[in-house]
Structure 1
């Protein structure tokens, strides 16, 4: 089906969907490794797990350290990340054009991420998005986070749309699980971060998109209950 209008509302994941934040995170892991007398890791070793969260990144950075020991390093990781925030990572190619196309066509957009809200909120002004993003829901904004659908439903309610008039875009399976449970059409962002064994075609997203620039075209978006 070819769509002739943009969606009424779109919600995005953040890391791996809007922002290529892997360079910030590898800087953090390598600072932690240096402090422990270890050599730096190449970006390629960490990049696939960025969308999996702090614990997964620590696991990739220190695979020989017990998970119980790494758990005590999570706050150190977050504190160092706050210091590196926005210094290395940038929006993916085509993201700014995509957001501009949505805004020009009256689409409201927001962010639902599992990143702690205070970190996501600090990042927005560095990107120039603090007044453009209509809603920001972080991983600790509510008692639950993705793949639970509540953060998506909360965000839709906050911007005044019903779930099936809103599309969710994410690069991780839990994004698509959350969207399906929320009753939202979904877009799988194939440009994001995935483990080698991940099969995004098995996630049952409504459409799979290779690059943000494709979403500047109305026909790329899945159907919604009503469209803007």
Structure 2
């Protein structure tokens, strides 16, 4: 469906985009950083398919899952708790080096961003990725110029699925609940949008812990962002 269909045949004035799994397939970089970290800790690498199922709640939970070896990492073992801070610091160092090396922009993304820009839509990236990694990744992917604002997982005191990052971005870009849309790939994105009172589009190709997005309650589900045009 067209994005205009969510707003009574008008295009949104503000569009908020998740990053990992929505705009960019960054799992190869994340997996490489996770596996290097695990190997530095004397553990077996997890592999990209496993890491794809762990992405979406920010770097600290990603590393919690990597240490536990599963998505349902609570309660963490005492050994995992003792390792966590060192593991997270190692991961940040490794990801700083690997960020953008293997990531790619998903098909349909650039056409969507360009069309929204042409229609005067103001856009922001609202992600749970630490802010220090967001701009470098967008720049390496060649899409940073489309966005007027970045809200990372550590920009505010809360992150998705809390609605505050979405509300902060909407207000900063002078949007309203009647003119703003959230576009993401996971339960965190849909839940945040619902709590913020704005419509949400979910993509099927991203990172939703290996589960289908069809049952999340998004206002629309698409296989490519080009479908929104």
TM-score by length of 1: 0.85
RMSD (Å), alpha carbons:
2.1
On the 8 A contact 2:34/2:63 being kept in 1, the answer is yes
**1:79 and 2:93 aligned:** yes
Structure 1: where are the runs of 5+ without partners?
Answer: 218-228
Structure 2: where are the runs of 5+ without partners?
Answer: 70-75
CA distance in 1 between counterparts of 2:123 and 2:15 reads 5
**1:31 and 2:36 aligned:** yes
Q: How many residues align?
A: 215
TM-score by length of 2: 0.85
1:149-176 deviation line (CA, Å, top 9, x unaligned): 1111111111111122100011111111
1:128-156 deviation line (CA, Å, top 9, x unaligned): 23332011111111111111111111111
Shift of 1:70: 4.2
1:104-131 deviation line (CA, Å, top 9, x unaligned): 2222211111111121123222222333
CA distance in 2 between counterparts of 1:184 and 1:45 reads 32
2:167 to 150, 153, 156: 153
- Give the match for residue 181 of structure 1: 195
**1:53 and 2:58 aligned:** yes
**1:202 and 2:207 aligned:** no
Shift of 1:21: 0.5
**1:191 and 2:196 aligned:** no
For residues 74-113 of structure 1, the aligned pairs below 5 Å read 74-113=88-127
CA distance in 1 between counterparts of 2:49 and 2:177 reads 36
- Give the match for residue 132 of structure 1: 146
Shift of 1:89: 0.7
Runs of 4 or more, structure 1, over 4 Å off, are none
Going from structure 1 to structure 2, the CA distance change for 1:55 and 1:118 (only over 3 Å counts) comes to: closer
- Give the match for residue 18 of structure 1: 23
